Every structure is written in structure tokens, then in C-alpha cells.
A and B are shown apart, each in its own frame.
Chain A
Amino acid sequence: MEASVLTERFLAFPHIPVGQHVTTKIAGLTLDIDTIWTTGIACAVVLVLGFYVRRKATASTPNKVQLFWEFVIGAAGEQVENSLGKRYRHVVPIAVTLFVLILVANWVELLPGFYHSTDYLPSPSADVNTVYALAVCVLVMTTASGIRAKGSAGYVKSFFGKPRFLAPIRILETFVTNPLSLALRLFGNIFAGGIMIALLLAIPWYGAFFSVPVTVAWKLFDMFIGLLQAFIFALLTVLYWQFAVEEAH
């Protein structure tokens, strides 16, 4: 019964794919080609900005691209120094890359769509594969850093501090809740933003006087959400790193 209701609702907007991806199979493995494609665009934008600033980096008057990088690096550096201290300066590039890459990936959504069934370019962040990959990276790196800081035994012991009965919750939090919420927070925000754009674009032409300004407003708001989510992801990464390496109180 429920399934038929859902099917009916999807049929009401048959051209709006919810959570569907253009896929291909290579050696028996399913690949979301649209996500890989937009990820490529996002990576290319980040690398172009990166190599541009590498060529033009100057100690005198910086251009706008350099100012952007300096602002991000400065903010990330400050956050890392406050949370982790000077010893963990190697976390700065990770936080910077996460922020810039996620920001550009989120903003890809604003480009008009091609190579996809929608009228907009879906953000890589609206695919769980991207956010899971990033969360896995963060989990692996923070765990490795925690083990290096405390030693294997010390790291394991850190979950069994007083009160001891909270140990399962600590383990669950560190290895499941935190990475999953980190991934799905980003995914949900951007995924929902994409569906909103799809719905607004699906309004027929005679509703244009309403749909055009609202779409513009929504896209601007979506940009803000994209910025906010990129910032939150990078910030939480640094904080989880702090939890992993700091001594239990």
C-alpha cells in the first residue's frame, strides 16, 4: 500500500529523480558517473585556483584568489592551533582541502545541468559516496593520529575511562555516530537543496513570475548553506581530531 503511494507521488513528478544517479558498471562495480563527473569539475576548479595562487603568490599585495586562500589557511591554522596546538600543523592542509573542496562541490549545484537527467548539475555532496568517502578519510586519519599520540594501548584505554559503563557509547560515538552524522549532515543539506532547485525548476512556464525570483533567492540561500556546511565539516574534523589525540580528563 505504502509503496504504491510513493510510486504515485514519484509519478506526479516523473522527471524529478530523487536520489537517482546515472550509473555505469565497470568490472562488475557500479559507478555513479554523474557524481564522478561533477567531482572532477569540483577538483579541477580547486586545483586551478590552487595552481593559480601558487604561480601568483606574493608577499606584497595579494590578488583576490590569494586573499581567499590566505583567509582559509589563516582561519584553519588558527582553529587547529587553538584546538590541537602547534604540533598538529599538518592538520591545516587537511582542513583547508576539506573546506575548499566541499565548498566548490556544494556550489557546483548552481551550474546549469548537463550530462544528467535534471536541469542542474547535481553536487557531489548530494551523493552519499562522496560524503562517506570524506568521513572515512577523517575517521582513519583521526584514529591514526590518536594511536600515534597515545599508543595503541593508551588509545584503547581512552574509551574505558570513568564512568566505565559509558565505554560502549564512546566507542559507538567515535566510530559510528560522529562519522555518520558528519557525512549525512552534509549530504542531507545539499541533497535537499538540490531537490528544492529541481522542484522550483519544475514549475510550469505560466508560474515563471513566481518561480524565477524564488529560484534565484533559493540558489543564493543554497550557496550560503553550501558555505556553512563546508565550514562545519572542516571545523568538526578538527574537533574530532582534538577528541582523538587529547588526554582523557
Chain B
Amino acid sequence: MFVASSNFLVPNATLVVELLAFLLVLGIIAKWVLPPVNRAMEKRQQTIDQALAEAAEARERAQRAEEEARRAIDQARAEGRALRDEAARLGEQVRQELRQQGEEEYRRLVSRASSDIDASARRAADQLRSQVADLVMAAVEKVLGEGISLANQEQLIERAIAELEAEMTSSSQLAGSQQASSGAQLRTGE
């Protein structure tokens, strides 16, 4: 071993050793070091890309969901409006029907009451008439005794009844007008 004193810009056999050393390191780096590092870098890049894609997708999904929700709300609002309108319409209809029914019922009650009153009046008149005839007969018998002929009796009775009927008719007309005025009062009190 010695210290060389030749021109240091001139290479010697060390060059071959250096060449081999470089090629050896190059081979090892290219075959065993770079591939795993590259794989790790690519995988990380993939993960990042995937995460970005997923984030974008999630954002899109959220947007879609929001739009859907807004659409659903709008639809619900429209349905609510329609239901309210329908309810108002039905309510009005029911009110009209009930009002009509009430009026019909009122008219029916009034007409029944007036026909009842007429019938009662007629019945009372008939009853009165028969009672009056009996009374008249009894009174006449008591006043005249038995000296009155059958023919006279009948004439007398007929006349008395006619007079009584005339009287009854005038009194029943008065009752009818009174009833009509009470019906009017009922209607105005409605």
C-alpha cells in the first residue's frame, strides 16, 4: 500500500469498482426499494382519490335528499291546502243540507200542527153539535111538555141547529185567524 503521486485527473482501475458498485446499488434500488414505495404512494393516492370521490358522492346524495324533502314538503303543503278546501266545501254543503232539512222539518211541523188544529176544531164542532141537539131536545121537552108534534119538532130542531152552526162557523173562523197569527209569530221567532 502506498500513496500514489500520479495525476489525479487520470482514472485507474478503481473506475471499474465504482461502476460495479453503482450498478449494484441501482439494481437493488430498482428491484427491491422503489416498487414497494411506489405501491405505497399509489395506494395512498388511490385512498385519497376514493375519499374525494366518496365525499363528492355524499354531497350529491345530500343535495338530492334535500331536494326530495323539499318536494315532499311542497306536496304535503298542497295536499293540506286541498284537504282544507275540501273540508270547507263539505262543511258548507252539510250546513246547507241541515238548513234545508230544518226548514222542511219546520214546514212539516207547522202544517201538521195546523191540520191537527183543524181536525180538533171539527171534532169539537161535531161533538158540540150533537150535545147541543140533545140539550135543545131536552130543553124543548121540558118547556113544551108533550104537546108538540113531530113535524113541528123536527122543524124547530133543524132551525135551531142551523142557527147554532152559523154561530159555530163564525166562532171557528175567528179561531183560525188567531192560529194563523200565532204561526207567523213562530216563524219570526226562528
Query: Please, which residues of chain B bring their CB within 8 A of the CB of A132?
Result: 11, 15, 18
A23 to B47, CA, bound (A): 54
User: Within the assembled complex, what's the spacing in Å between the Cα atoms of A39 and B15?
Assistant: 11
**B19 (CB) vs chain A CBs: closest residue:** A133
Chain B residues, Cβ within 8 Å of A167 = none
Q: A57-B40, A127-B14 are in contact. Are A33 and B26 (CB under 8 A)?
A: no
B166 at interface (Cβ–Cβ under 8 A)?
Answer: no
Whether the Cβ atoms of A58 and B40 lie closer than 8 Å is yes
B23 touches A57 (CB 8 A): no
- Known: A124-B18, A136-B19, A137-B22. Is A66-B12 also a contact (CB below 8 A)? no
Chain B residues whose C-beta falls within 8 Å of the C-beta of A96 in the assembled complex: 29, 34
* Given A50-B32, A93-B34, A127-B14; A133-B22 close (CB under 8 Å): yes
> How far is B13's CA from A117's CA once the two chains are assembled, in angstroms?
21
Contact between A21 and B3, CB atoms less than 8 A apart: yes
Render A74-93 as a binary contact track against B, CB cut-off 8 A, 1 for contact. Answer: 10000000000000000011
Chain A positions within 8 Å of B13 at CB level: 26, 29-31
> Does B3 lie within 8 Å of A20, measured CB to CB?
yes
Contact B37 A53 (CB under 8 A): yes
Contact B4 A21 (CB under 8 A): yes
- Report the bound CA distance from A97 to B32 in whole Å: 12
A181 within 8 A of B: no
Whole-angstrom distance from the CB of B111 to the nearest CB of chain A? 98
B189 in the interface, Cβ–Cβ < 8 Å?
A: no
Chain B residues contacting A143 (CB-CB under 8 Å) are: none
Q: Which of A117-151 contact B (CB under 8 A)?
A: 117, 124, 127-130, 132-134, 136-137
Please indicate the chain B residues that have their CB under 8 angstroms from the CB of A137 in the complex.
19, 22-23
Interface size on B, residues (CB 8 A): 38
Q: Are A36 and B17 touching (Cβ within 8 A)?
A: yes
Known: A20-B8, A66-B40, A133-B22. A93 touches B30 (CB 8 A): yes
Structural contact, B14 and A50, CB atoms closer than 8 A: no
Q: Does B5 contact A (CB under 8 A)?
A: yes
A40 to B10, CA, bound (A): 22
Q: Contacts A20-B5, A59-B40, A73-B37: A51 and B18 contacting too (C-beta < 8 A)?
A: no
Contact yes or no, A30 B19, CB < 8 A: no
A43: interface (CB < 8 Å) = yes
Whether B29 and A39, one on each chain, are in contact in the complex, defined by CB atoms closer than 8 angstroms, is no
The contact size tier of chain A is 35 or more
Nearest CB of A to B102, in Å: 84
Closest to A44 in B: B25
Chain A nearest CB from B97 CB (Å) reads 77
Let me know if A20 and B4 touch, CB within 8 A. Answer: yes
B74 to chain A, nearest CB (A): 46
Residues of A close to B61: CB separation below 8 A? none
Instruction: Give a binary string over B51-77; 1 marks a CB under 8 Å from any A CB, 0 the rest.
Output: 000000000000000000000000000
Name 18 extra pairs, CB < 8 A, besides A54-B37, A57-B40: A23-B12, A30-B13, A36-B14, A36-B18, A39-B17, A47-B25, A50-B32, A59-B41, A59-B44, A70-B41, A73-B38, A93-B30, A94-B30, A96-B29, A97-B22, A128-B11, A133-B22, A134-B18
Chain A residues with a Cβ under 8 A of chain B: 17-24, 26, 29-33, 35-36, 39-40, 43, 46-47, 50-51, 53-54, 57-60, 62, 66, 69-70, 73-74, 92-94, 96-97, 100-101, 117, 124, 127-130, 132-134, 136-137
